């Protein structure tokens, strides 16, 4: 685990939180040189009516909406990014306002690279720290409580031409403004609330045990864990529970800042591999694999996990296995309440795919930050248990 002899910390994204704030954040907009934003969301949201209030708020702030782009399908892909960037340039846009979940935000973040600097998205910018200078203003308005993309330096895109997922990681990719409006998350169905919430929890737990953690990321990760353990089940049981929605939205953004600095570990390594091989939803895979990832790190993280006791709701005697069991219990409860899968076989992963998944997981970039060396043979054993 981190010795924090040296670390850096900064949150360049300005964060504003409030009920209904998505329909009026003019005071915050005044901070940025933007006059003609491109409005970006997916089809589902376009039909939800939430966009109307956001559009009106932007117009009342004196902005002119350069264009609206609703063709963001899943997965977020290089092709869609290029289409959005082309459209933004055609419409003479000078900024982006993106409303949606992680995929939609990642599309807009990547399109902003092309709008600002031009060039070839994959050849010039895939990888880490490749963007030559600041990007045009981007406002991110999350409608799920999970990815934390509204504050992170990363975008993940599917490249159709190579059939692979590509990462884009750069300081300049962090949005300028994150608008957190819990009212926008009220309509999220129970299953998606659970899956995205488990993604947030995994970010926080893995940031907490990362070799790159520091006292600042620790504070955020620890509180995010507390918030998820307290609010996720209530948000799944009653989607209109505004307190629970507030807690989850706060948690996901805090976890986002935490892992943006500390990074994630073996659970995400396995999840990325499961996504690539079996096309499983990111949050769902994390929900299945988090207790197993924690089990993998059990011996090297025992003290660190036990430190979380009060945050995960344990008041009495506690050891490392009690903590892991508490996480496993949460997943079981979520299965009962909304059918969230608990095993890899439940999400159409075939047993003969496990060696390939183990191999990809062992090569995943996140393994560098895991507190225990990620061994392919050990991961395969773990995946067989998770199957």
Which residues contact Fe ion (rule: CB under 5 A)?
199
Closest approach of Cβ 264 to Fe ion, in Å?
A: 7
Nearer to Fe ion, 195 or 301 (CB): 195
- Which of residues 23 and 196 has its CB atom nearest to Fe ion in the complex? 196
Output DSSP code: residue 342: -
| DSSP strand pairing (154-159 vs 164-169) | antiparallel
Nearest CA to 101 out of 3, 199, 220 is that of: 199
- Residue bearing tokens 């990014």: 81
Nearest CA to 188 among 206, 178, 176, 200?
200
Beta strands 177-180 and 138-142, pairing class:
parallel
Interior/surface letters 244-255, b for 16+ CB within 10 angstroms, e for the rest: bbbbbbbbbbbb
Name the residue with the smallest CB distance to Fe ion: 199
| Smaller CB separation from Fe ion, 279 or 351 | 279
Which residue, 24 or 199, has its beta carbon nearer to Fe ion?
199
Least distance from Fe ion to the Cβ atom of residue 366, Å? 10
Q: Which residue's CB is nearer to Fe ion, number 108 or number 154?
A: 154
- The least CB distance from residue 192 to Fe ion, in Å, is 14
Contacts of 358 (CB under 8 A, 6+ apart): 273, 376, 377, 379, 380, 383
Cα dihedral 128/269/176/224 (nearest 10):
-150
Residue placing its CB nearer to Fe ion in the complex, 94 or 199: 199
């Amino acid at each position: 685990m981190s010795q924090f002899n040296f670390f850096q910390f900064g949150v360049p994204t300005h964060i504003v939180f409030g009920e209904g704030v998505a329909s009026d954040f003019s005071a915050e907009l005044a901070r940025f040189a933007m006059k003609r934003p491109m409005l970006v969301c997916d089809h589902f949201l376009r039909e939800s009516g939430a966009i109307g209030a956001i559009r009106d708020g932007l117009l009342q702030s004196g902005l002119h909406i350069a264009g609206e782009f609703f063709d963001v399908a899943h997965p977020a892909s290089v092709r869609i990014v290029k289409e959005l960037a082309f459209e933004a340039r055609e419409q003479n846009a000078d900024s982006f306002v993106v409303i949606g979940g992680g995929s939609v935000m990642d599309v807009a973040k990547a399109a902003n690279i092309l709008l600002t600097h031009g060039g070839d998205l994959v050849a010039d910018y895939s990888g880490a720290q490749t963007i030559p200078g600041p990007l045009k203003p981007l406002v991110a308005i999350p409608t799920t409580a999970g990815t934390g993309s509204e504050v992170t330096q990363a975008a993940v895109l599917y490249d159709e031409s190579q059939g692979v997922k590509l990462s884009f990681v750069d300081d300049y990719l962090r949005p300028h403004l994150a608008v957190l409006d819990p009212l926008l998350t009220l309509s999220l169905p129970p299953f998606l609330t659970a899956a995205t919430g488990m993604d947030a929890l995994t970010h926080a737990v893995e940031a907490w045990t990362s070799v790159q953690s520091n006292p600042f990321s620790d504070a955020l990760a620890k509180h995010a864990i507390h918030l998820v353990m307290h609010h996720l089940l209530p948000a799944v049981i009653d989607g209109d529970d505004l307190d629970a929605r507030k807690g989850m939205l706060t948690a996901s953004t805090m976890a986002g800042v935490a892992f943006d600095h500390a990074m994630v570990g073996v659970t995400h390594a396995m999840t990325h591999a499961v996504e690539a091989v079996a096309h499983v939803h990111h949050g769902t895979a994390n929900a299945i694999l988090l207790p197993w990832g924690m089990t993998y790190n059990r011996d090297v993280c025992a003290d660190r996990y036990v430190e979380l006791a009060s945050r995960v709701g344990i008041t009495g005697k506690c050891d490392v296995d009690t903590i892991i069991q508490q996480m496993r219990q949460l997943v079981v409860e979520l299965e009962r309440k909304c059918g969230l899968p608990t095993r890899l076989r439940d999400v159409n992963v075939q047993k003969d795919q496990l060696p390939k998944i183990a191999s990809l997981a062992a090569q995943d970039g996140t393994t560098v930050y895991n507190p225990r060396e990620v061994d392919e043979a050990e991961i395969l054993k773990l995946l067989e248990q998770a199957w």
